[in-house]
Amino acid sequence: MTTFKIAFVGLGAMGQAIVSRIIQANYAVLVHDLSKQAVDAMLEKGATALEGGVPLGTDKNLVFMSVSHADIMEKIICEEGGLLDSMDEGGIIVDLGTTPISQCRDLATLAKEKGKVFLDAPVSGSTPWAEAGSLAMMVGGDEAAYQRVLPILSSFANKVHYLGVNGNGQLVKLCHQLTFVSTITGLSEAIALAERHGLNAKKVLEVLEDCVAPRHVIDFMLPMAENERFDQGRGTLKLGHKDLQAVKKSAEDVSLKLPLAEELLGYMDKAMKEGWQDADLFALVDMARDEFYATMKSS
């Protein structure tokens, strides 16, 4: 069984919550942050602080990175005397932030060349989830290293998904961010439309909470993902097209611009022109896939 000598870099609200969970799981943790106040808060929880002049990775075989920007993380890892130079041979670096996929894979290659391991392990959830140990996590990288650190990851994330090679964790995290921002944008336009017509946001959200979207869309889609195509052949795509036309008209009636709704309607117009009239609404997945593969073949 591996005995871990752990350092943790980046003590924002999320970082502090994660460190607290790791300490509660009876692991010793050395912490580092530019904020003395944040470091002191973790010392009160039982952490130790990096001593001045000592390279961060000294005598450490597991370092968690929870910093605000990928370039800052890369500097800490790659600079002279940084983690790749100072950590124990075979040491594991775990990136908890959101990092571009290519940068993540480059860091993994550099780490391997230096006898270290880099895991991308971004999380979904905010501080209350971290405090409760109920974050979702998406991990890419060496599977043996992942298995070694899993008990520690599980101290603050109770839904940990191993996804294979480096970068796949970041890929799925970016898929989440795309879904998250798109959902918020859709809800924002829905609220704006409702308020222009005299309903308040709270009432709209209370009703939507009982509807299919946004809460239950994945409940419908997940079983379909086992099939080659998402199209259920129920002709609901043309109904969705009709409904978005009604959304546009209702917005125009109160002089409201809904950029996302207009973009979606344009996509649905395209579907109708290209012969998807009898397809299911979830065939939009197939439509997007077909466009991707057509682009790949022509390039």
Per-residue tens of pLDDT for the chain, all 299 residues: 568 999 999 999 999 999 999 999 999 999 999 999 999 999 999 999 998 889 999 999 999 999 989 999 999 999 999 999 999 999 999 999 999 999 999 999 999 999 999 999 999 999 999 999 999 999 999 999 999 999 999 999 999 999 999 999 999 999 999 999 999 999 999 999 999 999 999 999 999 999 999 989 999 999 999 988 999 888 899 999 999 999 999 999 999 999 999 999 999 999 999 999 899 999 999 998 888 776 656 66
Q: What is the pLDDT of residue 157?
A: 98
CA dihedral 108, 109, 113, 115 (to 10 degrees): 20
CATH label, 172-298, candidates 1.10.1040.10, 2.40.30.10, 3.40.50.720, 3.30.470.20:
1.10.1040.10
Which helix or strand (DSSP H or E) is residue 7 part of?
strand 6-9
Could you give the CA distance from residue 236 to residue 240 in angstroms, rounded to a whole number?
A: 6
Alpha helices in the chain (DSSP H): 13-24, 36-43, 70-78, 83-86, 101-113, 127-132, 143-153, 168-196, 201-209, 217-224, 236-253, 259-273, 284-298
Written as one string, the DSSP assignment of 99-155 is --HHHHHHHHHHHHHTT-EEEE--EES-HHHHHHT-EEEEEBS-HHHHHHHHHHHTT
Q: How far is CA 258 from CA 102, 189, 211, 255, 264, in A?
A: 34, 6, 21, 10, 10
Domain borders along the chain are 6-165, 172-298
Could you give the CA distance from residue 150 to residue 152 in angstroms, rounded to a whole number?
A: 5
Query: What sign has the CA pseudo-torsion 167, 184, 16, 11?
Result: positive
CATH label, 6-165, candidates 3.90.1150.10, 3.40.1710.10, 3.40.50.970, 3.40.50.720:
3.40.50.720
Could you give the CA distance from residue 272 to residue 209 in angstroms, rounded to a whole number?
A: 30
